[in-house]
Structure 1
Amino acid sequence: MRDNKLRMLSFLMFALGAGVSSVSHAKTLKVCYDQWPPMTIFPTKEVPERGVVIDMVEQIYSSKDYSLEYFEVPLARGLDMVAEGLCDMLPEYLYSKNSDNAFVYASEATFSYATAFVVRKSDSWRYQGIQSLNGKRIATGPGWDYSSMSAGYQHYIDDPANSDFVEVIAGYDDVVDRIFHMIKEDRVDLYADNDLVLQYVLNQLDLNDDLIIVRPGFEKQLVEMPIFSKQMPVEKRQDLINIWNEGRLAMKGKEEQALLKKYKVSLEK
């Protein structure tokens, strides 16, 4: 009887130990991201998708047995959370050689985005350098930085001499939607952004009869990279970066196109 009790006790202790061990080895990736449809989306009951880039992150890390925990926050807060170690990564941030010391970039970009403009369908305007902006009413958001794509454009919208022609639209997550409606209503003339964002918003707002995307956009592409917190142990951070770099390379081609198609946008447009 005593032997049976000892055997049972030993079994229970082994099972408990195995359970604790499996919990301690569970891998969770904490991901901060901001709202930038269709690349990153705050899900709702009506639209549960999280966007092209978050789908990529999910596929890449879940294939390595990570579970993902998401924090949907404005970009500035997301950067702070990565710096503080509250998030392990943020999937898209403008690449800069002079980056903040609080994080480390991966080597593989999420995307290198072509830019474009949106104007009224009746407008024959096309971007032909900074001089072609003269007299056009330009929409932008507060503090938005275009300098990595076109230093000339950034200088133009920052120049006090052009302030009467630059409309800064404040807001949280509907700024681009409102800009599209303002262009339709002839309150501003043009807006520049990532080509995929323009495609997505145009479709979502059903404004294809009123507005048109015009290309080419700026001289340089917008390069967005994942960033990883320096608060993690170096070995863990490098492992996460390696998983991303290898996974993103493997997704180029058909898998990448399938994800874009899910959100009704295309690199070929």
Structure 2
Amino acid sequence: MLILVLLSAIAPAYADKLVAVQNPWPPYLGPELEGQGLSGQIVREALRRQGHELEIRFLPWARALRMVKNGGADLLVAAWWTQERSEYLRFSEPYVQNNLKFIKRKSDSFEYAGLQSLSGKRLGLIRSYGYGDELTNAKNYHKVVNLDLVSNIRMLLAGRIDLTLEDELVARYTMYQEDPVLLNTVSFTERALNSKWLYVASGLRHPKNKEYVAAFNRGLKSMQEDGTLERYLQQLTPAQ
């Protein structure tokens, strides 16, 4: 009996097992990645420090966003803030920064110089991504919407679009995994559209949204203070 009491005293006491839904987005997230990706590792550790287990289930982005919005899952592990999303999601403190850059054919001399430089361009976007209200609301370019980056890259190389857009690290990783030759056929603009932070988010319809986001924030602060977060972020070295 004494042994059982001692074991229960040193075992982690988990308040809740949280379920997050998310699209595969390597190297930040993916079922085949170590720790399910960098974001998976950071968010899981932050929540563990607050007594929560985390299960990540991988779904298409639009479906994952809809589930969390409607309270059908506890969290999104990696989401960009937009004004529209803030109307139905509670966002955490930010933990990783993305640099969204335009991707072009290597032979293309285009350089991004503000929204006006996109005039007449066919831009490949991904459905339900939060690129920012300024780009989303602009009317001077042609939007071509696809389900994923690889589809946009294929259309770019086939001449069916002029540009696509993604976090540079994600794009390099995705193209390398799909076909390393792709990296030699495209290039990135020097200037980014914007730098966007990643957040954990919970739907405002979820009865524990405030509790779960606060728990992540406390765990994240602890990781910042002891250097754990910085050690994770050192993994973010873009492929050349």
TM class by smaller structure: 0.7 to 0.9
Normalised TM-score (structure 1): 0.69
Give deviations 1:112-138, integer Å, cap 9, x for gaps: 222211111111111112232234322
Q: Which amino acid aligns with 1:231?
A: P
Structure 1 81/192 Cα, relative in aligned 2: closer, same or farther at 3 Å? closer
- In 1: Cα distance, 2:11 partner to 2:228 partner: 30
Query: Which residue in the other structure is 1:4 paired with?
Result: none
- In 2: Cα distance, 1:22 partner to 1:88 partner: 27
Which segments of 5 or more consecutive residues in structure 2 lack a partner in the other structure? none
Query: Which residue in the other structure is 2:45 paired with?
Result: 59
- What is the alpha-carbon root mean square deviation over aligned residues? 3.6
Which segments of 5 or more consecutive residues in structure 1 lack a partner in the other structure? 1-10
- In 2: Cα distance, 1:120 partner to 1:167 partner: 16
Structure 1 68/131 Cα, relative in aligned 2: closer, same or farther at 3 Å? closer
Alpha-carbon offset, residue 214 of structure 1: 1.8
SS of the residue aligned with 1:216? Answer: strand
- In 1: Cα distance, 2:229 partner to 2:35 partner: 21
- In 2: Cα distance, 1:128 partner to 1:111 partner: 25
1:202 aligned to 2:175? yes
Structure 1 86/248 Cα, relative in aligned 2: closer, same or farther at 3 Å? farther
1:176 aligned to 2:149? yes
- In 2: Cα distance, 1:234 partner to 1:132 partner: 41
Structure 1 133/20 Cα, relative in aligned 2: closer, same or farther at 3 Å? same
- In 2: Cα distance, 1:179 partner to 1:114 partner: 18
Structure 1 82/245 Cα, relative in aligned 2: closer, same or farther at 3 Å? farther
1:154 aligned to 2:154? no
Give deviations 1:154-205, integer Å, cap 9, x for gaps: 233xx3x754xx3222x3xxx2112112222222221122222222223223
Normalised TM-score (structure 2): 0.76
Structure 1 237/133 Cα, relative in aligned 2: closer, same or farther at 3 Å? closer
Alpha-carbon offset, residue 48 of structure 1: 6.3
Kept in 2: contact 1:88–1:228 (CA 8 A) = yes
Structure 2 counterparts to residues 114-153 of structure 1, below 5 A: 114-148=99-133, 151=134, 153=135
Alpha-carbon offset, residue 252 of structure 1: 4.6
- In 1: Cα distance, 2:77 partner to 2:25 partner: 12
Kept in 1: contact 2:118–2:141 (CA 8 A) = no
- In 1: Cα distance, 2:141 partner to 2:83 partner: 30
Query: Which residue in the other structure is 1:37 paired with?
Result: 26
Give deviations 1:12-43, integer Å, cap 9, x for gaps: 9x96x9999999944433322222222222x2
